[in-house]
């Protein structure tokens, strides 16, 4: 069982790795362009995996309960990706990563609204700890007591990441349903094709005809293409690790471990890779927020 907890943590590390690369790529491309290019690269790489895997293991077998959660999850991930790229592209990683600690709280809220599930007192403590972490993150000199809370809504990057946390609140439950109707690798492959189809439709709707090919396939340099392919490869490793863990441990546990890695690791990556300032304050804030998120997830 311990190996699946390790895979959940590994998924968080893969996420941080491609996030750092995406932040660099966003200096040249818009959030929508990057999401579109990664969707294409992701689908190409999973198609290669599919040809090898299905040739030796046979065609995938999915039940009728597979398609609706898979399509719904694809829409969520596309929306979250654009919001996420907007966030990390405009704001320091160490400032926005701790906001993701709120996503277990939104998962609890959605569970209460949809199915009447309630959290324990321990879960409430975890939520308050996550909020305290974010409060400490936004403390600045000579500001009033409510300023750190207002910062979440006035800071563009934090506002975008808050929306990501809300959107992500629905994702683990949908993924769990889809995996139970197939298996982690089949779901990763098929989900990548679903996202590609939705992405192409969005590009057709949003972009002008002349920009259609550019949005999906044009790169300013060959190194940009290699970076996007590498990012897609890291995302595939993240997905396989996450979905394998989801197939064997409860979704809240998987989310808690992965989220802990991302929220706590964000300021560290920001300090080492992007030379961001005030990292000691941000690491303390992230540690509180990540611990709070873990408590929320494990207390459900």
| pLDDT one-digit tens code per residue, 221-234 | 888 999 999 999 99
Mean confidence (pLDDT) of the chain: 82
Strand ranges for the chain from DSSP E: none
Per domain, the residue ranges of the chain are 2-299
pLDDT band at 283 (very low <50, low <70, confident <90, very high): confident
Report how far residue 256's alpha carbon sits from residue 113's, in angstroms, rounded to the nearest whole number: 21
pLDDT at 272 over 70: yes
Give pLDDT, residue 233: 93
The reported pLDDT for the residue numbered 225 is 92
- Look at residue 115 in the predicted model and tell me its pLDDT: 55
For range 106-117, the mean pLDDT: 66
Q: Which of 15-19, 246-250, 289-293 has the highest mean pLDDT?
A: 15-19
């Amino acid at each position: 069982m311990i190996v699946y907890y390790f895979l959940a943590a590994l998924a968080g590390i893969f996420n941080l790795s491609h996030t750092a690369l995406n932040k660099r790529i966003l200096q040249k491309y818009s959030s929508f362009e990057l999401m579109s290019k990664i969707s294409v690269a992701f689908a190409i790489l999973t198609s290669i995996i599919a040809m090898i895997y299905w040739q030796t293991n046979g065609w995938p077998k999915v039940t009728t309960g597979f398609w609706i959660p898979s399509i719904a999850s694809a829409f969520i991930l596309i929306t979250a990706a654009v919001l996420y790229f907007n966030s990390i592209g405009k704001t320091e990683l160490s400032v926005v990563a701790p906001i993701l600690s709120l996503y277990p709280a939104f998962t609890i809220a959605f569970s209460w609204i949809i199915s009447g599930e309630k959290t324990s007192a321990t879960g409430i403590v975890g939520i308050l700890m996550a909020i305290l972490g974010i409060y400490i993150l936004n403390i600045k000199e000579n500001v009033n007591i409510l300023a750190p809370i207002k910062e979440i809504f006035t800071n563009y990057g934090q506002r975008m990441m808050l929306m990501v946390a809300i959107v992500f609140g629905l994702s683990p439950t949908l993924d769990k349903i889809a995996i139970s109707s197939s298996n982690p690798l089949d779901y990763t492959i098929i989900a990548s094709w679903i996202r590609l189809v939705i992405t192409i439709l969005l590009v057709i709707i949003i972009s002008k005809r002349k920009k259609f090919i550019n949005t999906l396939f044009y790169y300013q340099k060959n190194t940009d293409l290699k970076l996007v392919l590498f990012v897609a490869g890291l995302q595939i490793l993240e997905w396989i690790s996450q979905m394998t863990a989801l197939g064997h441990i409860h979704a809240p546990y998987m989310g808690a471990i992965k989220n802990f890695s991302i929220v706590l690791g964000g300021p560290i990556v920001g300090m080492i890779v992007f030379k961001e300032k005030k990292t000691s304050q941000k690491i303390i804030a992230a540690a509180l927020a990540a611990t709070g998120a873990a408590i929320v997830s494990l207390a459900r």
